[in-house]
Structure 1
């Protein structure tokens, strides 16, 4: 009897294409199209930084030699792309009764079992990628156990700016705080462009912000009080910023629930940039993927010893990156 898993429908290329077509059920950061995918063929990436120098040019008498241009300083940083493998198995009892003994053409039902497994594995990789991207937005890319993979502030030798909105005080001028956020991000863009600034808030930060006297009054005046009755958690504009409630969290292998944004905090970052954010994808460590451009996810299957099931292997090799960590602001409620 021919092993149905030897059919081309279960090849590495087919399974990889299938798992990349499964809808991503997690990932608000992905929905924002903030981190553009950049496939690479190496296991590490090199980020080159060059600061242009803009000097005021002095006036000189006619006939004088011109001032000499100064080259900007260049720095090169290397980062290893994390390797995230995940395994599962399709056991005989899962396809028992689906494929009759001796049949070689009943692949559709087996493909359904395989698709269900791949969907579960896809969701795990998706929430992991969301966790990594959120870490890049906060300046610290964290592993599943909470350990630091890369501290972008340390790597790029910058200090994170923290702005206290002081929302516990009814006299705080929230608009002034918003201006401070905008000015700080504009200063740290270092020549980059942006179309706006978004703030992802923890539920606690969002609640105290929207219930603050100054914010409520502004909404009552400009939106005829609609913000007092509508659900504005999906995002609203105030003081030049778009505030959005974010409730992402995940459970690690030990069962610990990790909130992506701590209570009473928020993060602010620019949108519409050219190359400030990116997600680098390296190729899988398979023979057939050597020197090829990396994909978001890979999937492969292999029969177990004595044909006692089929092992499934998926892997992703992503590195979300913020090339200008100075634009990542931490906001506190009080």
Structure 2
């Protein structure tokens, strides 16, 4: 995109069946979708580092890299660290995206709630009852099936085939899930039974849902007793729009995921400033398909 504002059109349309008609009869009329428009501004995050000449003074031994090579190596190292911070920030936005939210990484305040913006009531949180010492037979599998069917219903007919659901789980939720009687019995007679005797992998499939223990990043993760569910393979369900950087060179050009710049000290040649910038807007286009669950 070439601007800092994204206009999103919301439609209430769903797929429908076309009935048979007699030859020569009138056409079945398509009912126009109800449309609503919303404008969202791409948020910006940026970070910089400064490499001073004094920082690498007197650290080069005889026969080692030249001064120019040494500066280039240090610049590349610091830019790599900045890019890693950017990747962590993108991961943070993706985690919030499967909750239908955009949050500020600084204080985790909600900036955009797509449920509120599009007038959608979030589905009630599901109690997976994982701490039940004597669960009813098949109760967990039925709960998974009910969740899948709920997501399919909320997709308005767009799920023509089987819908694959993924869940990003907190540590306690995942631990109780893999220890659950139904899950253990499912895996006992499979090649994965060895996992039950040792350290359990970070991902397990059960009841048509792939559960993953979410490790998180610096300062963010899935709450330990929670799980966030979302369908996979739905085209356009999650999008990230990028606005161009705040420079004359990039104005009105297509936005890129990340901009990296090196700005030398042209007056005294004492430092070089390293900068990264991104202007993303992560969007969940159908927040009504998202689900949350608690361990108990």
TM over 0.5: yes
1:171 has 2:135 as partner: yes
Instruction: State the alpha-carbon separation in 1 of the partners of residues 24 and 80 from structure 2.
Output: 73
1:290 shift after superposition:
1.0
1:191 shift after superposition:
3.8
Is the alpha carbon distance of 1:97 and 1:246 closer, same or farther for their aligned partners in structure 2, counting shifts above 3 Å?
same
Paired residue for 2:151? 185
Is the alpha carbon distance of 1:239 and 1:108 closer, same or farther for their aligned partners in structure 2, counting shifts above 3 Å?
same
Instruction: State the alpha-carbon separation in 1 of the partners of residues 253 and 60 from structure 2.
Output: 36
User: Going by fraction, where is helix more abundant, 1 or 2?
Assistant: 1
For residue 69 of structure 1, the aligned residue among 30, 36, 41 is 30
CA contact (8 A) 2:15 2:158 kept: no
Q: Quick check: 68-77 or 53-62, which moved more?
A: 53-62
CA contact (8 A) 2:46 2:278 kept: yes
Deviation track 1:233-278 (CA, whole Å, cap 9, x = no partner) reads: 3312110011111120323xxxxxxx32111101111111111111
Instruction: State the alpha-carbon separation in 2 of the partners of residues 43 and 76 from structure 1.
Output: 16
Unmatched segments (≥5 aa) in structure 2: none
- SS state at 1:111 partner: helix
1:227 shift after superposition:
3.5
Instruction: State the alpha-carbon separation in 2 of the partners of residues 58 and 307 from structure 1.
Output: 76
Instruction: State the alpha-carbon separation in 2 of the partners of residues 300 and 46 from structure 1.
Output: 29
Paired residue for 2:177? 209
Alignment of 1:224-239 (within 5 A): 225-239=193-207
Instruction: State the alpha-carbon separation in 2 of the partners of residues 165 and 128 from structure 1.
Output: 30
Figure out how many residues of one structure are paired with residues of the other and give that number: 284
For residue 116 of structure 2, the aligned residue among 150, 154, 157 is 154
Alignment of 1:21-32 (within 5 A): none
Is the alpha carbon distance of 1:192 and 1:230 closer, same or farther for their aligned partners in structure 2, counting shifts above 3 Å?
farther
Instruction: State the alpha-carbon separation in 2 of the partners of residues 56 and 279 from structure 1.
Output: 32
Deviation track 1:34-57 (CA, whole Å, cap 9, x = no partner) reads: xxxxxx211121222223255677
1:120 shift after superposition:
1.3
- SS state at 1:273 partner: coil
Instruction: State the alpha-carbon separation in 2 of the partners of residues 57 and 301 from structure 1.
Output: 59
CA contact (8 A) 1:220 1:227 kept: no
CA contact (8 A) 2:10 2:118 kept: no
- Could you say what the CA RMSD is over the residues aligned between the two structures, in angstroms? 2.5
1:163 shift after superposition:
1.2
Deviation track 1:277-324 (CA, whole Å, cap 9, x = no partner) reads: 111111111110111111121122323464331222211111221100
For normalisation by structure 1, the TM-score amounts to: 0.77
Instruction: State the alpha-carbon separation in 2 of the partners of residues 272 and 54 from structure 1.
Output: 18
Deviation track 1:82-114 (CA, whole Å, cap 9, x = no partner) reads: 1101111011123324799xxxx8532211010
Is the alpha carbon distance of 1:270 and 1:62 closer, same or farther for their aligned partners in structure 2, counting shifts above 3 Å?
closer
Instruction: State the alpha-carbon separation in 1 of the partners of residues 13 and 149 from structure 2.
Output: 20
1:67 shift after superposition:
5.1
Paired residue for 1:107? 68
